[in-house]
């Protein structure tokens, strides 16, 4: 829908993984970017070097000679100024605005011929349903007009436009008609997908469809059946869960949902842990209770060869941690592509299987004392890289339901690290910590200290516990093992075993062996 693009780059950090991704999309669409190098007030900023880096990136992405002949503007957006020379600070944003007017072409308008509009985006309204958004390529669309919907996979459907709206800032305004070059929202068309074309009723002509990236990862979503079920959430049944996932499918293009092995479970496919964790966090805030299984990578069979998704990973770390980062990443089948020194930090580029990304971020941050900056993006499908080592430490699993007692946790400190606080309510089968060994260990941390009237040396020792390990939702999803689930409620995040009963877990393991 855009006539031009601004490529915004940090004057110190330079090109990031997402820079490459969005720039590649823009170049494929034939857009010539205006480069905006921002934050030139940062210490150790390198505007000229970053500009060269952008040029090199565009060259590597097969930009045309015209696209490589781009204009650059420098500035500090926070202070509200831009300049064509970064050594001469400006006073306002006029240089940027002038470049937009001179460099970005006006919309090409073609009012002759039959109407055509490619559906490029969508919105969902509880009052009118799905709303198709796109740009009119040719002709005129009118409210109440009969049209043909040309499906991206082939086939045609007849519909009538109920309402037309144009965008005015963040608001939408109803209009009677829109013409070629206008971006509009169309109400009243059912069953459309991104990439479908709204065309003439009698002589429909479809436009080339938009390519939508396929999901690369899946997770099990199921209802919360823990002993604390229903304490925090308003929506706890499988019907609630199914309705919410169906609603999300209306607007989340990269999402896919399939039924699970039971009627209470669903397999949800997305573009990575972050994509799915955003959905889970949104549902959590809306009052849902659910349980999530370990992320699994979606493999493909290409020309008879098993292939898996590969991610481009970028890590920025202080120089003293470079060896640790390279060692941890290569153990997960990562291949080092490039290493670059930037001031007191080192910039590392890797290609790594998506399987290797799961759980890597939290390990890197721990190993680098919180200094690592980690970013990654999907690159392509490549032949399977072989087995990858998984989390080596087992879990400390609660033996009984009750309240975690500081005295019991202190006595078991040599067994591992805790992920719960004293005073937290826990249940049998909940994971309360990380064991120092590879196996799981069942522990009882609900035992209180026995009080007697006999005093002895050492009996009044104070229980001093180190802070527990804290996980975000995304880190929890990366951390769990294949026999564990993340319990998500509006107020709590817990890790639990799929089988809560200790005897049942042992019996299940014996059957598997």
Return the CATH number at 495: 2.40.50.250
User: pLDDT of 152-203, one tens digit each?
Assistant: 888 889 999 999 999 988 888 999 999 998 999 999 888 888 889 999 988 8
Whether the pLDDT of residue 34 is over 90: the answer is yes
- Cα 213 to Cα 216, 378, 381, distances in angstroms: 9, 10, 12
Asked if 132 and 89 sit in the same domain, the reply is no
Torsion of the alpha carbons at 260, 261, 263 and 267, rounded to the nearest 10: -10
Per the domain annotation, does 215 fall within a domain? no
**Bridge partners of 34?**
6
Per the domain annotation, does 354 fall within a domain? yes
* Domain endpoint, select from 199, 220, 254: 199
d(Cα 432, Cα 421) in Å, to the nearest integer? 9
pLDDT of residue 459: 55
pLDDT of residue 453: 63
Asked if 90 and 123 sit in the same domain, the reply is no
| Strand ranges inside 319-440, DSSP E | 335-342, 345-353, 373-383, 395-398, 402-403, 416-418, 425-426, 430-435
Q: Which helix (H) or strand (E) holds 266?
A: strand 265-270
Per the domain annotation, does 170 fall within a domain? yes
Distance of CA 484 to the CA centre of its chain: 22
- Cα 154 to Cα 74, 214, 434, 510, distances in angstroms: 47, 19, 53, 52
Per the domain annotation, does 388 fall within a domain? no
| CATH code, domain carrying 14 | 3.40.50.300
Asked if 128 and 87 sit in the same domain, the reply is no
Provide mean pLDDT across the span 318-335. 91
User: pLDDT of 72-113, one tens digit each?
Assistant: 999 998 889 999 888 888 888 999 999 999 999 888 888 888
Q: How many CB atoms lie within 10 A of CB 464?
A: 8
Contact status, residue 357 vs residue 296, Cβ threshold 8 Å: no
- Cα 14 to Cα 308, 344, 361, distances in angstroms: 29, 15, 21
Domain assignment of residue 360, given as a range: 300-383
| Share of residues in the chain with pLDDT > 70 (%) | 96
| CATH code, domain carrying 347 | 3.30.70.240
Closest of 318, 389, 388, 328 to residue 363, by C-alpha:
328
Whether the pLDDT of residue 458 is over 70: the answer is no
Asked if 366 and 439 sit in the same domain, the reply is no
pLDDT of residue 457: 53
* Domain endpoint, select from 199, 227, 262: 199
User: pLDDT of 394-447, one tens digit each?
Assistant: 999 999 999 999 989 998 999 999 999 999 999 999 999 999 998 899 999 998
Asked if 73 and 136 sit in the same domain, the reply is no
Asked if 365 and 407 sit in the same domain, the reply is no
- Quote the pTM value: 0.72
pLDDT of residue 60: 82
Asked if 506 and 400 sit in the same domain, the reply is yes
Whether the pLDDT of residue 463 is over 80: the answer is no
Q: Where are the alpha helices (DSSP H) in 46-177?
A: 47-60, 65-68, 94-103
Crossing angle of the two packed helices 17-28 and 47-60, in degrees rounded to 10: 50
User: pLDDT of 123-142, one tens digit each?
Assistant: 888 888 889 999 999 999 99
Q: What angle do CA 68, 69, 74 make, to 5 degrees?
A: 100
Provide mean pLDDT across the span 15-42. 85
Most confident of 271-275, 458-462, 473-477, 483-487: 483-487
Domain count across the chain? 4
253 falls in which pLDDT band (50, 70, 90)?
confident
| Strand ranges inside 127-182, DSSP E | 129-138, 140-142, 146-150, 156-160, 163-168, 171-175, 177-179
| CATH code, domain carrying 165 | 2.40.30.10
pLDDT of residue 152: 83
Asked if 400 and 362 sit in the same domain, the reply is no
Per the domain annotation, does 338 fall within a domain? yes
pLDDT of residue 280: 94
Whether the pLDDT of residue 258 is over 60: the answer is yes
Asked if 63 and 162 sit in the same domain, the reply is no
* Gyration radius of the chain's alpha carbons: 28
Asked if 28 and 123 sit in the same domain, the reply is no
Whether the pLDDT of residue 291 is over 90: the answer is yes
Most confident of 228-232, 392-396, 492-496, 506-510: 492-496
Asked if 342 and 304 sit in the same domain, the reply is yes
Whether the pLDDT of residue 364 is over 90: the answer is no
pLDDT of residue 290: 94
Per the domain annotation, does 162 fall within a domain? yes
Contact status, residue 7 vs residue 50, Cβ threshold 8 Å: no
Whether the pLDDT of residue 510 is over 90: the answer is no
Asked if 406 and 501 sit in the same domain, the reply is yes
User: pLDDT of 197-247, one tens digit each?
Assistant: 999 988 898 888 887 777 889 999 999 999 999 898 899 999 999 999 988
pLDDT of residue 197: 92
Strands 72-76 and 484-488: unpaired
């Amino acid at each position: 829908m855009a006539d031009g693009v601004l490529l915004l780059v940090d004057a110190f950090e330079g090109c990031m993984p997402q820079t490459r991704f969005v720039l590649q999309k823009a170049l494929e669409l034939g857009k010539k970017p205006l480069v905006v190098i921002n934050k030139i007030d940062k210490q150790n900023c390198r505007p000229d070097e970053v500009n060269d880096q952008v040029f090199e990136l565009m060259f590597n992405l097969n930009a045309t000679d015209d696209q490589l002949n781009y204009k650059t503007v420098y500035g500090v957006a926070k202070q509200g100024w831009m300049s064509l020379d970064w050594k001469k600070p400006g006073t306002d944003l006029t240089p940027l605005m002038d470049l937009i007017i001179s460099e970005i072409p006006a919309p090409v308008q073609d009012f002759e011929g039959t109407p055509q509009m490619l559906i490029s985006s969508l919105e969902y309204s509880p009052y009118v349903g799905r709303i198709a958004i796109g740009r009119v390529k040719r002709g005129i669309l009118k409210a109440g007009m009969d049209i043909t919907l040309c499906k991206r996979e082939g086939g045609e459907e007849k519909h009538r436009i109920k309402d037309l709206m144009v965008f005015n800032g963040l608001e939408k305004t109803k209009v009677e008609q829109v013409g070629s070059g206008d971006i509009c929202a169309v109400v009243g068309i059912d069953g459309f997908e991104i990439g479908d074309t709204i065309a003439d009723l009698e002589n429909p002509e479809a436009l080339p469809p938009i390519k939508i990236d396929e999901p690369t990862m899946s997770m099990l979503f199921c209802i919360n059946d823990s002993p604390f079920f229903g304490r925090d959430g308003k929506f706890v049944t499988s019907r609630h869960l199914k309705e919410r996932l169906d609603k999300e499918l209306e607007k989340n293009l990269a999402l896919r949902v399939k039924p699970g092995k039971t009627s209470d479970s669903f397999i949800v496919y997305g573009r990575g842990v972050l994509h799915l964790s955003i959905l889970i966090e949104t549902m959590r805030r809306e009052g849902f209770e659910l349980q999530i299984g370990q992320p699994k990578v979606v493999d493909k069979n290409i020309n008879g060869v098993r292939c898996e998704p590969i991610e481009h990973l970028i890590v920025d770390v202080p120089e003293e941690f470079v060896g640790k980062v390279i060692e941890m990443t290569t153990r997960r089948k990562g291949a080092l592509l490039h290493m670059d020194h930037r001031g007191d930090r080192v910039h590392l580029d890797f290609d790594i299987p998506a399987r290797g990304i799961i759980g890597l971020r939290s390990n890197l941050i721990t190993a680098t004392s919180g200094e690592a900056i980690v970013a990654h993006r999907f690159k392509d499908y490549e032949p399977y890289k072989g087995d990858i080592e998984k989390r080596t430490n087992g879990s400390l699993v609660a033996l009984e339901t009750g309240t975690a007692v500081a005295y019991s946790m202190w006595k078991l400190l040599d067994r591992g690290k805790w992920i719960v606080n004293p005073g937290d309510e826990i249940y049998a089968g909940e994971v309360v910590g990380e064991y120092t060994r590879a196996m799981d260990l069942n522990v009882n941390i609900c035992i209180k200290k026995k009080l007697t009237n006999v005093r002895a040396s050492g009996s009044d020792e104070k229980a001093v516990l180190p802070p527990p390990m804290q996980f975000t939702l995304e880190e929890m999803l990366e951390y769990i093992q294949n026999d564990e689930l993340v319990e998500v409620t509006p107020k709590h995040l817990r890790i639990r075993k799929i089988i809560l009963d200790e005897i049942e877990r042992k019996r299940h393991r014996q059957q598997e062996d």
